[in-house]
A and B are shown apart, each in its own frame.
Chain A
């Protein structure tokens, strides 16, 4: 074990590996709770969609599928960036890792900006329940419910992206300053796990929000 790992060893652990395993296990447990956090929203979505299948299809057709697809690609690429940064640190790299992490944070920001644009256009189209909603027709209620869930799910996800961008920026700075090395990168590993999780959530959000009812228009 390197000195870097020894220096970070807390007194309740005997070995750096033991500490690292504990951190990884804890992080995965946290992610399991996050799965259930988002799971409630997904379950609510499923129950509502089961009850108002046509309304949800109609509502989903008003979402911006091009934006959604680009956002998905952006997140997938950023996830790969985080994974590569970790790999680079483990191989002893510093500058490349910092650059990759900064790039990851930048892609996260791009995602947020795109989403902001999307929200703005939904406001213009009158699809924001509570603020400005003037969709009419037999499915008006179901459409409103869909957009409630849409803003909840994407809003809650964006909150996670914001946290992730901050985390990635901090990690980029730390990596740049050489705080991580082949023997010790636990904070970076956990931050990367978090970022991948945010990516996974979006992988499910994308078809649920943007792709419903496209074939039957």
Chain B
């Protein structure tokens, strides 16, 4: 896609230049190194949150609450939620792949604010420390949703510490969002018009809008929770005249758009994976970009569908219901366009492509079940049951994690300069797809049977499906550990990757792998749109 040919140069790669001391990494301003710093933190938290999930699934293998006490169980799923949402899913793609690729894809030397970029990593780590401290001191048992008045007046756990952790990580998220938005606005290479941007960049752009405009609301709301515990102000406390529903409104004003913070980047990654695998242009490029922007905006108007039975006005519920149906339209457009992209292609089933196809399938199943929850009359029965649990895991684990790993596999040669075992990677992708469905499909049935979520013990009639789910979870766990092993191995023993092992389009593939410190030796000039694959 670029007018210049491959920028092969003798410049040392970013992994080497600037020295390789610990200090050089901790003070780096290079967006690629910061992406790797983030990747380390995110991987750590992913497995930490995953360990909590393993405990939850083990406990739920039998109906009796025998493995963990009720209190420990509650702390475990809360920890799982907090870590996975704020320390893995929200930052995962934007801070690693986004940080690494956005400047490269638009032909820039770095992010617009490199120091701010590093600072937001430190914020992320500081927030992580708060969260670890919270865990070590005994955890928190409110659920990741912090519903009042339980979190403010009744819980005796470390709610303030947890809230501070999330508050700080929120700032990290805001700063990342601002950085990406400004970078895309001001640092595009010559000829990189808006509608020549790869869809991944568009996805990061839409995500950043949501991050910047939604996160402050969460931060302030959690600050209010902390103050309510500390100083006894009563804005959310009915005993003092406050309204717990006000908390839910504020919380979901962030936390519903946060779902789009998690899935929009995944959509961007999937678009890259599928065009590469199909070796042709994305079908309906403009519809893809507009639908992402539409999701980012409409995503702010649907939060009340979490509150259909919470006691909000029935008229407000009607409005939220129709808007929730409406936001399914752009998601549907995207699924159809991905499938359309396969039409008349030359399909190569590399591991990244398998992840991409897996993402489309699982995202679609998660999205379709979302329709059931958007329908007020059905939501009354299904909300707060395992149906909801399964629905959002399909979107976040089936969707986002699948796409995140697909992206890691796709750009791994670019990031590290090494190739991994393609056969193992394909096997892991298939295993993940199967393990995931075995874990979470039974949960749809459980929810339909009426098993409420956040139950430490349950009625014996639900056991069969729970055992299936726990069995699936063990397969899923293996499929997550596998990439850790073979990707780790490839770091040291993998074959050297050329600049473009997938013969993909995009500016990031025009520089050596791993790229030099400032990405391009010659500033690239762009003359055509993305995904100009030639068979």
Contact = CB atoms under 8 A, between A and B. Distances in A.
Q: Do chains A and B touch in the complex (CB under 8 A)?
A: yes
Interface of A: 10-13, 18, 21-22, 25-26, 29-30, 32-34, 36-37, 39-41, 43-44, 47-48, 51-52, 129-130, 141-142, 144-145, 148-149, 151-152
Nearest to A38: B220
Nearest to B241: A141
B216 A37 contact: yes
A37 B219 contact: yes
Contacts of B232: 129-130
Nearest to A44: B235
A148 B304 CA distance: 26
A144 B241 contact: yes
A32 B181 CA distance: 13
A29 B182 CA distance: 9
B506 interface: no
A197 B177 CA distance: 20
Given A25-B185, A26-B113, A47-B243, A36 B216 contact: yes
14 contacts: A12-B103, A12-B111, A18-B187, A21-B186, A22-B187, A25-B185, A32-B213, A33-B178, A36-B214, A39-B216, A40-B216, A47-B246, A130-B232, A148-B235
B220 A22 contact: no
A9 to B, nearest CB: 12
A26 B112 contact: yes
Among A13, A18, A40, A47, the one with the most B-chain Cβ atoms within 10 Å of its Cβ is: A40
Nearest to B190: A14
A29 B212 contact: yes
B459 interface: no
B178 A34 contact: no
Given A12-B114, A22-B186, A51-B243, A36 B235 contact: no
Contacts of B217: 36-37, 39-40
A162 to B, nearest CB: 17
Contact of B250 (A12, A34, A40, A144): A40
A12 B182 contact: no
B178 A41 contact: no
A39 B221 CA distance: 11
Contacts of A21: 186
Interface string B34-76: 0000000000000000000000000000000000000000000
Interface in B229-253: 231-235, 240-243, 246, 250
A98 to B, nearest CB: 26
Contact of A52 (B111, B241, B250): B241
Contacts of B201: none
B215 interface: yes
> Which residue, of B182, B187, B213, B246, has the highest number of chain A Cβ atoms within 10 A?
B182
A26 B178 contact: yes
A139 to B, nearest CB: 10
A102 B177 CA distance: 34
Contacts of A149: 235
A21 B182 CA distance: 9
A46 to B, nearest CB: 10
A43 B250 contact: yes
Contacts of B109: 11-12
Contacts of B233: 129-130, 148, 151-152
A34 B220 CA distance: 10
A47 B235 CA distance: 10
Q: A12, A25, A51: which has the most chain B beta carbons within 10 Å?
A: A12
Nearest to A21: B186
B231 A37 contact: no
Given A22-B112, A25-B185, A39-B217, A30 B242 contact: no
A37 B112 CA distance: 24
Contacts of B246: 44, 47
A25 B186 contact: yes
B235 A145 contact: yes
A145 B234 contact: yes
B518 interface: yes
B227 interface: yes
Contacts of A37: 216-217, 219-220
Contacts of B111: 12
Contacts of A41: 220
A9 B231 CA distance: 47
Nearest to A52: B241
A30 B232 CA distance: 30
Interface in B150-185: 174, 177-179, 181-182, 185
A48 B237 CA distance: 12
Contacts of B215: 33
A132 to B, nearest CB: 13
A59 to B, nearest CB: 12
Most B CB within 10 A of own CB, among A22, A25, A30: A22
Interface in B94-114: 103, 108-114
A148 B234 contact: yes
Given A12-B108, A36-B213, A129-B232, A29 B114 contact: no
Contact of B240 (A30, A144, A152): A144
B360 interface: no
A70 B447 CA distance: 60
A48 B110 contact: no
Contact of A48 (B103, B112, B235): B235
A25 B112 CA distance: 11
Contacts of A11: 109-110, 518
Contact of A22 (B174, B185, B212, B250): B185
B362 interface: no
B258 interface: no
B225 to A, nearest CB: 12
A183 to B, nearest CB: 18
B89 interface: no
A34 B227 CA distance: 19
A104 to B, nearest CB: 25
A152 to B, nearest CB: 7
B186 A34 contact: no
Nearest to B108: A12
Contacts of A130: 231-233
Contacts of B216: 33-34, 36-37, 39-40
Most chain A beta carbons < 10 A, residue from B113, B235, B240 = B235
A34 B234 CA distance: 23
B232 to A, nearest CB: 5
A40 B221 contact: yes
B224 interface: yes
B214 to A, nearest CB: 8
A12 B187 contact: yes
Contacts of A148: 233-235
Nearest to B187: A12
A141 B238 CA distance: 11
A39 B214 CA distance: 11
